[in-house]
Amino acid sequence: MNKLKITITALLACFLIGSVFNVDAQTTNAITTLNFFQQAMVWGASLNMDPTYNWTNDTHKIQIDTGVATTTGVGIADRLNIQDNFGSFGIGIAGEFTGVGSTFNMLEGTIQYSLYQKGDFKMTLELGGGYDFNAKDNKGEIVGAMVGEPGIGIYKVMTPNSYAVFKLLMPVESHGKFETEPKIFAGVGGTF
């Protein structure tokens, strides 16, 4: 019994002494390397407040971006957007085409309003309206239709004159077919 009391007292003494003094545990200097997706998440979640990487001075700057968009019935389509900015508002045109060297299968006018912008990050409310030459009816036949595409956009400056863009759009067509799948656009662009 006496040995047990001595052991418990010694452990309590070590605990008390250890809590009074700050002792660092032994560590190794292992270098951790982030993979591409982890690096992209860190970059996307950070804000660069440098004035050269800033959306607040984009008045009368032309934005041109291109990338790929998911399109119901087609799969993936190429998309080109050109826009002029007037403070928090932007007005432009967008075209969409499938395959290299093909004609535009959708043309639309676009308006954009910046809901939030800080440093190199911008979130926008977007509305496009135009004509989809490849719109299909419920039977799968190409009928062509007027189309409206409300959505949101996320923009992130990469260099003083380039940016990455991600948009989530919900197409609504005039022949009454409501797309059940959103259109997702990812691309890169530049300001001039």
pLDDT tens string 37-76: 777 777 777 788 777 777 765 565 789 999 988 876 667 8
> Is residue 24 in a domain?
no
Letter for the amino acid at 57?
N
151, 143 in Cβ contact below 8 A? no
pTM of model > 0.75 = no
Identify the CA nearest to 156 among candidates 189, 113, 112.
Answer: 189
Q: What pLDDT, on a 0 to 100 scale, did the predictor assign at position 105?
A: 84
d(CA 54, CA 85): 14
70, 76 in Cβ contact below 8 A? yes
> Is residue 31 in a domain?
no
> Is residue 19 in a domain?
no
pLDDT band at 16 (very low <50, low <70, confident <90, very high): low
Helix, strand, or coil here: 3?
A: helix
> Is residue 27 in a domain?
no
> Is residue 7 in a domain?
no
> Is residue 112 in a domain?
yes
CA distance to 52, 66, 158, 164, per residue, from 43 (Å): 17, 21, 9, 11
Question: Please, what is the average pLDDT of the chain?
Answer: 80
Triad 115, 85, 155: Cα angle to 5°: 50
Q: Domain of 164: which CATH number?
A: 2.40.160.20
Any idea which residue has 């959505």 for tokens?
151
> Is residue 94 in a domain?
yes
User: Which pair of tokens denotes residue 38?
Assistant: 């982890």
Any bridge partners for residue 163, and if so which?
157, 189
Mean pLDDT of 6-12: 64
Number of structural domains found in the chain:
1
> In this model, does residue 124 exceed pLDDT 90?
yes
Per the structure, the complete domain to which residue 56 belongs is given by 50-191
Instruction: Out of 39-43, 82-86, 133-137, give the one with best mean pLDDT.
Output: 82-86
Specify the range with the lowest mean pLDDT, choosing from 40-49, 62-71, 77-86, 123-132. 40-49
Instruction: Out of 25-29, 32-36, 100-104, 155-159, give the one with best mean pLDDT.
Output: 155-159
> Is residue 92 in a domain?
yes
165, 173 in Cβ contact below 8 A? no
